[in-house]
Amino acid sequence: MAYVCARGVRFNVVDLPGAPAARRREPVVMLHGLFTGSAASWFFTVAPALARTRPVRLIDWRGHGMSERTPTGYGTATMVADLAELTADLPPFAVVGHSYGATVGLRFARAHPGRTTRLALVDPPFIRLDQAADDLLPADGLSARAGRRAAALAAETSVLADLAAEPPVTAAELRALAGLPVLAVTGDGSPFRAAGELVGRALPGARRHVLAGGHDLHVTARARLTPLLNSFLEDAHA
């Protein structure tokens, strides 16, 4: 684990260096969702398979995992700036984002076009982002400590207000990505499944897949999601 201080905040950054032959290839940065997400969301699901052929970097967003919980700063503008700092040492890289991580990844790609080589959106909550907290806040089934941590984030920081104030992702915003390879994978039972259609309308060239499952496809549909992401990333080297 490496703690990195960026913009006055302590972040946890996890690098999977991969096999020696993989280390000089284009990296992929994987971004988790809010509340219950952390670097572990990818570390225990898709990341090890991707790390066989490329370097993988996982970060804990502020307020998540082992990164510092700041009272404010959970809007995409702040988190895009966080991401830029936490990846400044990398060559241009692919981005894989789940949930709110997909939203931040999209806005990072727009703000830093030369830094992003491709963008994979895993069940992006582009539709009704302002109400997304209802669907993202954890329900049952979490360990007591993880549940308390997510509840404390919601209660003690501006995260819910930041989400409510976040401008939704528009078709125009997506169209501005034209030229960037984009993959969108949505769950057929996800509250955000319409986001895939929005991506398809705005970016007809985007690759789209709908998998059986809900919002947490990296957990429940790992076996199908992993090869989709892998082949999308491998095209970069074709």
Partner 1 sequence: MTQSSDVLGEVVGMLVEVVGEDFLLDTEIGPDTTFNDELALESIEFVALAEKLQDRYGGRVDFAAFIAGLGLDEIMNMTVGDLVRHIEARLQPAAV
- Residues found near partner 1 in the complex (CB under 8 A): 1, 12, 14, 16, 38-41, 43-44, 47-49, 51-52, 58, 60, 65-66, 143-146, 149, 219
Closer residue to partner 1 in complex, CB, 40/95:
40
Q: Residue 221 Cβ, how far from partner 1 at the closest point, in Å?
A: 12
Say which DSSP state 156 is in. H
Q: Residue 127 Cβ, how far from partner 1 at the closest point, in Å?
A: 28
Closer residue to partner 1 in complex, CB, 131/230:
230
Q: Which amino acid is at 106?
A: L
Q: Residue 106 Cβ, how far from partner 1 at the closest point, in Å?
A: 25
Q: Residue 217 Cβ, how far from partner 1 at the closest point, in Å?
A: 14
CB atoms inside a 10 Å sphere around CB 235: 12
Closer residue to partner 1 in complex, CB, 1/171:
1
Determine if residue 32 is left, alpha or beta; phi over 0 gives left, psi from -120 to 50 gives alpha, anything else beta.
beta
Closer residue to partner 1 in complex, CB, 56/198:
56
CB atoms inside a 10 Å sphere around CB 88: 9
Angle formed by the axes of helices 100-111 and 76-86, nearest 10°:
70
Q: Residue 142 Cβ, how far from partner 1 at the closest point, in Å?
A: 9
User: Read out DSSP for 161-215?
Assistant: HHHHHSPPP-HHHHHTTTTS-EEEEEETT-TTTHHHHHHHHH-TTSEEEEESS-S
Closer residue to partner 1 in complex, CB, 60/166:
60
In the block, residue with structure tokens 């066989």: 52
